[in-house]
């Protein structure tokens, strides 16, 4: 394997070819590969296709400025955790605050001290390595403290196997925050993070000790409900939906947050179904809840469907 392939990639997003040439010359001996992009649109395509370890982002660009690029990167679960250093000629505190509120990790003012920039890049790359290491080894979501997607996949397969073996009830609820992107766009990512953390708290508080609450991804959560049929699971889901609707949010008290919930469950006489098929049914009900106006629970009782199928 070529040595270059082992190095982390830093993507420089700046509309100035002079800046590209300067930084490529000054950073060529660093232990990373510096790739470049001249526009926000081109950069987003490159980042989504192959996420870099760190991004250097200019604010003042034509067509799509740095703030728009930053917002798009932090709104995408694929690119959300990439460390971003804003590299800008703007020195005003308002621009810095906006950049940090949108999710930037650092802010360097042009013309920058190259030694300082190298140090900040090394710190960002260390952060990227640490995040990837933690993601690989941990089963806990860093923002909410809930079990993460890897933990969900493992526990869900186990519970479906137990359902088939022991013939005990089981339900799965998928919970998604309504209009979450609007919260991020209007009030900034700290407000969005606050919403996700508070939703996680409510889900844990309203669930029972045996229930397994996970952050599935983005603003979507999953609740595995062992020994729980669809009727009982629906009551729990409605309680969660109601409690979340009552919350007054400190950063945006005038804007309530609601959730839509898709649920699929079965009693002891449920069908033989794979974990993926069960999840797909819960997701489909979540989509229906969104499509029918949001802030509602949609449930499939697979045990009754199984009885009908056996009856012919």
Which residues is 57 bridged to in the sheet? 13, 86
SS (H, E, C) the chain: CCHHHHCCEEEEECCCHHHHHHHHHHCCCCCCEEEEECCHHHHHHHHHHCCCCEEEECCCCCCCCHHHHHHHHHHCCCCCCCCEEEEECCCCHHHHHHHHHCCCCEEEECCCCHHHHHHHHHHHHHHHHHHHHHHHHCCECCCCCCECHHHHHHHHHHHHHHHHHHCCCEEEEEEEECCHHHHHHHHCHHHHHHHHHHHHHHHHHHCCCCCEEEEEECCEEEEEEECCCHHHHHHHHHHHHHHHHCCCCCCCCCCCCCEEEEEEEECCCCCCCCHHHHHHHHHHHHHHHHHCCCCCEEEEEHHHHHHHHHHC
Active-site hit among 219, 220, 232, 243:
219
CA dihedral 54, 59, 65, 67 (to 10 degrees): 70
Closest CA to 304 of 169, 174, 172: 169
Whether the Cβ atoms of residue 107 and residue 99 lie closer than 8 Å to each other = yes
Q: Is 219 a catalytic residue?
A: yes
As given in the structure block, the two tokens for residue 147 are: 């079990």
Q: Which residues are catalytic?
A: 219
């Amino acid at each position: 394997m070529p040595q270059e392939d082992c190095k982390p990639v830093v993507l420089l997003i700046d509309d100035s070819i002079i800046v590209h040439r300067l930084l490529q010359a000054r950073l060529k001996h660093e232990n990373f590969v510096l790739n470049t992009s001249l526009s926000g649109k081109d950069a987003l395509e490159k980042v989504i296709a192959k996420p870099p370890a760190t991004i250097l982002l200019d604010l003042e660009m034509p067509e799509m400025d740095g703030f728009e690029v930053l917002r798009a990167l932090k709104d995408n679960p694929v690119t959300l955790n990439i460390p971003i250093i804003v590299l800008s000629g703007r020195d005003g505190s308002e621009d810095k605050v906006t950049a940090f509120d949108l999710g930037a990790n650092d802010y360097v003012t042009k013309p920058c001290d190259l030694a300082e920039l190298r140090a900040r890049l090394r710190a960002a790359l260390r952060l990227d390595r640490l995040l990837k290491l933690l993601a690989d080894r941990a089963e806990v979501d860093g923002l909410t403290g809930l079990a993460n997607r890897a933990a969900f996949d493992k526990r869900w397969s186990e519970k479906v196997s137990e359902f088939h073996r022991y013939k005990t009830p089981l339900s799965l609820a998928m919970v998604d925050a309504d209009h979450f992107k609007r919260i991020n766009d209007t009030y900034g990512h700290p407000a969005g993070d606050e919403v996700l953390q508070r939703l996680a708290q409510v889900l844990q508080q309203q669930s029972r000790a045996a229930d397994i609450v996970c952050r599935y991804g983005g603003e979507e959560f999953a609740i595995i409900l062992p020994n729980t049929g669809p009727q009982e699971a629906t009551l729990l889901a409605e309680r969660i939906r109601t409690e979340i609707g009552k919350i007054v949010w400190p950063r945006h008290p005038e804007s309530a947050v609601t959730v839509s919930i898709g649920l699929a469950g079965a009693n002891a006489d449920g069908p033989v179904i794979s974990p993926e098929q069960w999840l797909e049914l819960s997701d489909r009900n979540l989509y229906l809840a969104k499509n029918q106006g949001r802030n509602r629970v949609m449930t499939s009782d697979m045990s009754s469907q199984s009885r009908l199928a056996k009856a012919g």
